[in-house]
Amino acid sequence: MLTPNMHYADLKDSYLFAGIAQKVKHYQQSHPDQHIYRMGIGDVSLPLCDAVIKALHEGVEDQADKERFHGYMPECGADFLRQAIAGYYRGRGVALAPDEVFVSSGASDELGDILDLFDGSSSALVIEPAYPAYVDANVIAGREIVHLASGEENGFLPLPDEHTVADILYICSPNNPTGAVFDREKLQAWVDFANKNGSVILFDAAYEAFIEESDLPRSIFELEGARTCAIEICSLSKTAGFTGTRLGYTVIPKELTRCGMNLNAMWVRNRTTKTNGVSYIIQKGAAAVFTHAGQEQIRQNIKVYKNNAKVLMAALDEVGIWYTGGKNAPYIWMKCPDGMGSWQFFDYLLNEIQVVGTPGEGFGACGEGYFRFSTFGSPADTREAARRLTDLLRGK
Ligand code: MLT
């Protein structure tokens, strides 16, 4: 009889955000008249910007034209988009060749798929609290996971020490869920560690566009030595509202080799076998993000989310609750009041004020006692949620 992948039995019953969606659905069914203020999953609320919409329409017209029609797309990405992304990095002082950029259908897909590059016996270090897909993808692959806990004592930005041993290192900065950002010196410590130990960093840069302090690194390739130890995975989901449109990109430098194997060449081999590329229309829309107009327009949308963050931070300041994030990231990570557990706080907010966030425990054991708010909701909902939160927590 066929044996299924038994590692699925080691996963939690449901994926964090699916479990929350289920709980919220049940609440809504039993309270059909109540409006729910959704600040749980980091899903955007603003539509795609005009430059992208125009390019998507042009893409559709191209597909209707005998001369301009596109069939299969290049597996690693259309040249025009790889060039545009390399140009975006160049504008930030990072030199990349277009064929070091791989177009994907999103960072979350890619974070799991990229594990094809590594032997099953390699271990994966996850800095917790962590985006749960890192852990789940490695559980499914049956890989040994090294959980590196972080906390308030290190600003949720731990560093490797003499006891750290791992082959694959997940680093997310700006961090999901804590909103903490590695500065140059700390990120350099991870790069130096990876080069010294032959590890590979999987750098999740999905929130880079939210960094407003110019001395903080937005790409790991701003650091010396990163080209020999890092892969960067990025996405247009949060930057440009592509959560439902789907497009991401991955940077694998040509210098990145292990055991005589070139990881860029291996990924070309992988993609040419496993994909037929991302849809032409979507790539056409994505390229518009990197134009002058596209950049201006997405910045306006990011400003709206940053204002939401300010509204929520002001509410937490008013009631004297400790939090981090919100400034260079679209997440606010707060301490639950009165020593409440994070799921207990989740139920409390949902039942009392119909506000949904994400319990910190869902991001790993050290997230217990904390709670995450996403700032991607509508401004009106965010203002009302902040008002309800202040009223509820005043005096706690
Ligand atoms: C989150 O809420 O952590 C993210 O939206 C999840 C994701 O990007 O898949």
User: In sequence order, what E strands does 137-251 have?
Assistant: 145-149, 168-172, 200-204, 230-235, 248-251
Calculate how far, in angstroms, residue 2's C-alpha sits from the geometric centre of ligand 1. Answer: 34
User: Do 330 and 234 share a structural domain?
Assistant: no
For residues 22 and 25, give the distance between their C-alpha atoms in angstroms, rounded to a whole number.
Answer: 5
Domain end, chosen from 293, 326, 351, is at 293
Q: Do both 97 and 224 map to the same domain? A: yes
Cα atoms in the Cβ-side hemisphere of radius 13 Å centred on 249 = 28
Same domain, 17 and 102: no
Both tokens assigned to 59: 């893409």
User: Apex CA 286: angle with CA 283 and CA 287, to 5°?
Assistant: 90
Residue type, 339: G
> Which amino acids bring their CB within 6 angstroms of ligand 1?
41-43, 108, 131, 176, 237, 374
Task: Name the DSSP class of 214.
Answer: T
Structure-block tokens of residue 149: 């806990």
Distances 327 to 29, 222, 333, 381, 383 between C-alpha atoms, Å: 35, 21, 11, 20, 17
Residue 300 CB neighbours (<10 A): 10
What's the farthest any 2 CA atoms get from each other in the chain? 68
What confidence tens digit (pLDDT) does each residue in 3-13 have?
999 999 999 98
Domain end among 259, 293, 327? 293
| pTM: predicted TM-score of the whole model, two decimal places | 0.97
Question: Could you say which of 239, 265, 293 is where a domain stops?
Answer: 293
One domain for residues 242 and 343: no
Residue of 17, 39, 43, 134 with the most ligand 1 atoms within 8 Å of its CB, for mutation: 17
Domain containing 203: what range?
50-293
- Whole-number Å distance, alpha carbon 154 to ligand 1 midpoint, is 24
Those residues whose C-beta lies under 8 Å from the C-beta of residue 297, and which sit 6 or more positions away, are 49, 50, 51, 52
pLDDT per residue, tens digit, the chain (396 aa), is 999 999 999 999 888 999 999 999 999 999 999 999 999 999 999 999 999 999 999 999 999 999 999 999 999 999 999 999 999 999 999 999 999 999 999 999 999 999 999 999 999 999 999 999 999 999 999 999 999 999 999 999 999 999 999 999 999 999 999 999 999 999 999 999 999 999 999 999 999 999 999 999 999 999 999 999 999 999 999 999 999 999 999 999 999 999 999 999 999 999 999 999 999 999 999 999 999 999 999 999 999 999 999 999 999 999 999 999 999 999 999 999 999 999 999 999 999 999 999 999 999 999 999 999 999 999 999 999 999 999 999 866
Same domain for 362 and 277: no
| 1 is a domain residue | no
Whether 261 and 315 map to the same domain: the answer is: no
Helix (H, G, I), strand (E, B) or coil at 256: coil
Distance from the Cα of residue 242 to its chain's centroid: 12
Taking Cα atoms as reference points, which of 235, 227, 238, 274 lies closest to residue 100?
227
Q: Is residue 182 part of a domain?
A: yes
Residues 119 and 181 in one domain: yes
